[in-house]
Structure 1
Amino acid sequence: MLIRKATIEDLPVLLQFEQGIISTERPFDSTLKPDPISYYDLKAFISSSEVEVLVAEIDGEIAGSGYARIKKNPDSYYDFEKYAYLGFMYVLPPHRGKGINQAIIEELKKWVAEQGLAEIRLEVYNDNTGAIKAYEKVGFEKRMIEMRIRI
């Protein structure tokens, strides 16, 4: 397995991954607009110095993806001004269970540390137990639960 920075040439595959993420998450959130929708500006992310987009290759095929994005902390009561936000975690179904997410996250953690940041955050749907277990396996802990009500 090779973990590397994503390039503009990877964009067609990454756009398919984005739709895979959306279709996986759609059952967890009835407020998502009907297709087609997009979560990310992947082209801008790939060329930004504030975002590290990584892909995992297996036998020359892009099998997984993820990014860490530097975000400014809006709350002055924390002891850090910036943190990294983890997103775009996706692995093709035939390659799941091979440690791809873990390998990508480990490389993103290195990049985050090189940026002088000490915290990574992410969001995951409460009912997405598989993703929660995968994130806990690499050291993430639950802190806050966002609650919503439609009126």
Structure 2
Amino acid sequence: MEIRPATPADRPAIRDVARRSLQASYSLGPQAITSAIEEWYDEDRLEETLADEDRLLLVAEEAGQVVAFSESVEATEDTGTLLWLHVDPAHRGKGIADDLFERTRNRLEERGVAHLEGRVLADNTEGNSFYEDRGFEQVGTENVEIAGRSYVENLYSEAQQQGREPVETEDGRTVYIDHDNHERGSVAPFHVVHVDMEGEERYGYFCSNCETLANAMDSMGRIECDSCGNVRKPIRWDAAYL
């Protein structure tokens, strides 16, 4: 088996692997799977992914056939997020996921990533167990929209948790900055801000560059800090999470 960076020629195989993997591992209807493939893995999106220096797309090839791939992103200067790890169901049970995971981690470490995070839909039992078996801890949840329906996505981290810090808004309200849940900004990370200490309700985001609160996000998941211009671009191609 060979694990290598994806090329434009791999795009049809990547879509096929993603489709079969989603069908086998997720309780998604045919329309939802088709919409997800079209939104995340069409020709233009994959071309953008391959051209984006912050993203890493690796494929596992066996006997000249792409049988698995991983998609990850440098979410912050020292944090990488594993967005997807798909293995063709016909090739599972061979240790391909383990090898691809380790190669992905190693390649991110070569880029200066100090710790790894992961995302997986809550209804993917095998995917959640995959992270838990490797010592990752669930640090939060978010919602992802697929074909007009909202699904819960679990967030995992292998780093030591830093907890939540209370801060006051301009109107005197206490909210809580989650230092374990953040998104990459153009200048510095945006940390998720919760209404309560338990993190059950989201307030917005905290710009770590100028240390101000922001609670506005557009339909594509873009956040822009009004104070310093720090911008968060979505790491997923679907409508985002606020």
Q: TM-score, normalised by structure 1?
A: 0.76
- Determine if contact 1:86/1:120 at 8 Å carries over to the other structure: yes
Distance 1:22 1:91, change over 3 A: closer
Q: Corresponding residue for 2:62?
A: 58
1:120 to 110, 116, 119: 116
Q: Aligned partner of 1:53: which letter?
A: L
Q: CA RMSD in A?
A: 2.7
Name the % identity: 27
Change (3 A) 1:21 1:44: farther
In the TM superposition, what is the alpha-carbon distance from 1:103 to its structure 2 partner? 0.8
What count of residue pairs does the alignment treat as equivalent? 139
Q: Label 1:145 to 1:48 Cα distance change in 2 as closer, same or farther (>3 A).
A: closer
Residues 70-126 of structure 1 show CA distances to partners (whole Å, capped at 9, x for unaligned) of 124xxxxxxxx5521112311111110111111111111111111212122222122
Q: Tell whether 2:37 aligns with 1:10.
A: no
Which structure shows the higher strand fraction?
2
Q: Deviations over 1:9-50 (max 9, x none)?
A: 10111122333354456626x8x8584342252221122221
Going from structure 1 to structure 2, the CA distance change for 1:39 and 1:25 (only over 3 Å counts) comes to: farther
Equivalent position amino acid for 1:63 in 2 = V
Bigger radius of gyration? 2
2:187 equivalent in structure 1? none
Counterparts of 1:12 and 1:101, CA distance in 2: 20
Change (3 A) 1:59 1:119: same
Q: Measure the CA separation in 2 of the matches of 1:107 and 1:34.
A: 27
1:65 aligned counterpart, secondary structure: strand
- Cα displacement (A) at 1:8: 0.4
- Does structure 1 conserve the Cα–Cα contact (< 8 Å) formed by 2:84 and 2:119? no
Alpha-carbon distance in structure 1 between the residues aligned to 2:56 and 2:143: 30
* Structure 1 residue ranges, 4+ long, deviating more than 6 angstroms after superposition: none
Q: CA 1:138/1:46 → structure 2, altered by over 3 Å: closer, same or farther?
A: farther
Quick one: distance in 2 between partners of 1:26 and 1:104? 20
> What residue number does 2:106 align with?
110
Change (3 A) 1:34 1:146: closer
Q: Structure 2: 5+ residue runs without aligned partners?
A: 145-149, 151-242
- Partner SS, residue 140 of structure 2: coil
* Distance verdict in 2 for CA 1:22–1:128, change over 3 Å: closer
Question: Partner residue of 2:73?
Answer: 69
Q: Per the alignment, do residues 26 and 92 of structure 1 end up closer, same or farther by CA in structure 2, a change over 3 Å counting?
A: closer
Higher relative contact order (CA 8 A, sep 6+): 1
Whole-Å separation in 1 of the counterparts to 2:60 and 2:33: 30
1:137 aligns with 2:128: no
Moved more, 114-123 or 62-71: 114-123
> TM-score normalized by structure 2?
0.50
